[in-house]
A and B are shown apart, each in its own frame.
Chain A
Amino acid sequence: MQCNEFEAVLEQTSGQPLSAEAAAHSAQCANCRALAADIETITRVARELAEPLEEAPARIWVQLRAQLEAEGIIRNPAPEKDSSLQPQGRLGSVFAWMRRPALVATYAAIMVLAAVLAWKRIDTPAPPEVPTAATYGLDRLETQAVSDLDSASPEVNTALRKDLDVVNKFIAECEKAVREEPQNEDARQYLYGAYQQKAELLAVAMDHTRTGE
């Protein structure tokens, strides 16, 4: 057996015991023996690189779902008694309510907040302190929106709470990332984006509950 044939055997057997012929060649050829030993070392250390699979960050699904809905790929069937759950928009089925006409003062205030947050995402250099949902009054607004939800239909209530839960998990992850790396601009951008999403969602919720639909 020649060295190139030995290498071909190594390529095909990939970690399995060598044939007698290949083993005989390896015994007399220091270069091929070293090649086999090095590859064994590499594969052994490579196995150490495998790490337990960590949970994919929540924001992936949040953004993916928003995109799927925007493209009309997600087409949830409308419940019989609530045609407002037609597919469209971002942040879940509640986005359809954005088309409702009544815009109350709170809604407008929240939209201003959303715009401020959007502006911060683009233009503001990272401040040294870590922002929180409370910084922008989102916690208070959420409390109000959630209490108002009791007047909504069970379908709407469930859908909205689910979307809020998703966004809150997203925010918690972003806040954690910013706390861990306060100077990481990407992390801050994600966080402002998350707050913006929540502000929009709360605006949608309030719009819906105040119009009584």
Chain B
Amino acid sequence: MARTRRTETGELTEAEAIRRAQQGDAEAFEFLYRQHSRRVYALCLRMVGRTAEAEDLAQEAFLQLFRKIGTFRGESAFSTWLHRLTVNVVLMKLRKKTVSETSLEEQTEPDEETGGPRKDFGAPDNLLIGSVDRINLQRAVEQLPPGYRAVFELHDIQGYEHNEIAGIMGCSIGNSKSQLHKARTRLRELLHEFARARARDVRQAAKAETAGEDG
């Protein structure tokens, strides 16, 4: 078997690297790793938020990939296969963390008057525009259930198309769209809740200040 001497991009095709990796060639493995490690690591980091965990997950994703590389026949793109494995590894991890899959009602602050869930997010004078920034959106994303979070991350943050996500997640395009919409509406609820909490804090602070002045 010819050895893979050079690993710089452009000097070896991915198909050739896969073929050599299937025969155990170390440099072919390294080539494949270098080609995809940034994106895999970025995905893990964005999904779990902690560097040490992201490193472990990226390593695990590649390890699983390389263990199975002998079975790769090229029916799907190598990158799709890798990203599917990565998403699965991350989702397994997130699910183990027992992320609470609370219902929409539980996520929603009760209406002060009716006691039921407040659902008037769409009031024209209560739009998110102007009240959402990167920080509170990130905070809300971290509270999404893992499946929603993965689709939102892939589509709205990393820019994957629904057909790519379907390949990665092993679902239909329709399912990808549905999951994305649910993720966005859940985020909307969370962001409105944050905004209400902020408003409540301001009110309470004002009350406390007034009480202090009266006393």
Binding site for B on A (CB under 8 A): 7, 10-12, 14, 30-35, 37-39, 41-43, 45-51, 53-57, 59-61, 63-65, 67-69, 71, 73-77, 87, 92-93, 186
CB distance from B2 to the nearest CB of A (A): 9
Binding site for A on B (CB under 8 A): 1, 3, 23-26, 29-30, 33, 37-42, 46, 51-52, 55, 58-59, 62-63, 66-67, 121-124, 126-129, 132-134, 137-138, 141, 152, 155-159, 162, 177-178, 180-181, 184-185, 187-188, 191
A-B pairs, 9 with minimum CB distance: A75-B24, A31-B122, A34-B122, A56-B41, A11-B181, A46-B156, A56-B37, A53-B38, A38-B128
Given contacts A11-B181, A47-B156, A59-B55, contact A35 B122 (CB under 8 A): yes
Complex-state Cα separation, A37 to B124, whole angstroms: 10
Complex-state Cα separation, A186 to B23, whole angstroms: 36
Residues of A within 8 A of B159 (CB): 47, 50
A186 touches B67 (CB 8 A): no
Residues of B within 8 A of A41 (CB): 127-129, 132
Closest residue of chain A to B158 (Cβ to Cβ) is A50
B37 touches A77 (CB 8 A): no
Partner of B29, one of A34, A50, A74: A74
Residues of B within 8 A of A38 (CB): 121-122, 127-129, 188, 191
Complex-state Cα separation, A196 to B119, whole angstroms: 58
Residues of A within 8 A of B30 (CB): 61, 65
Partner of B33, one of A46, A51, A61, A71: A61
A75 touches B23 (CB 8 A): yes
B122 touches A30 (CB 8 A): yes
Beyond A14-B177, A30-B123, A33-B124, 20 additional contacts (C-beta under 8 Å) are A14-B162, A30-B124, A31-B122, A35-B122, A37-B129, A41-B129, A42-B184, A42-B191, A45-B132, A46-B157, A49-B134, A50-B157, A54-B38, A56-B40, A57-B51, A60-B41, A65-B26, A75-B23, A75-B24, A76-B24
11 contacts between A and B (CB under 8 A): A30-B122, A32-B122, A34-B123, A39-B188, A41-B128, A42-B188, A45-B137, A49-B137, A56-B40, A56-B58, A57-B55
Complex-state Cα separation, A59 to B135, whole angstroms: 29
B177 touches A60 (CB 8 A): no
B127 touches A34 (CB 8 A): yes
Partner of B59, one of A45, A60, A186: A60
Complex-state Cα separation, A92 to B191, whole angstroms: 49
B67 touches A73 (CB 8 A): yes
Complex-state Cα separation, A59 to B38, whole angstroms: 13
A12 touches B184 (CB 8 A): no
Complex-state Cα separation, A145 to B124, whole angstroms: 73
Residues of A within 8 A of B124 (CB): 30, 33-34
Residues of B within 8 A of A61 (CB): 30, 33, 37
Residues of A within 8 A of B138 (CB): 49
Closest residue of chain B to A55 (Cβ to Cβ) is B38
Closest residue of chain A to B134 (Cβ to Cβ) is A48
CB distance from B43 to the nearest CB of A (A): 9
Closest residue of chain B to A30 (Cβ to Cβ) is B124
Partner of A63, one of B41, B46, B59, B132: B59
Partner of B52, one of A34, A39, A42, A186: A186
Complex-state Cα separation, A46 to B134, whole angstroms: 7
Given contacts A56-B37, A63-B59, contact A46 B188 (CB under 8 A): no
Given contacts A42-B137, A42-B184, contact A12 B25 (CB under 8 A): no
Closest residue of chain B to A14 (Cβ to Cβ) is B177
Complex-state Cα separation, A74 to B24, whole angstroms: 4
Closest residue of chain A to B34 (Cβ to Cβ) is A61
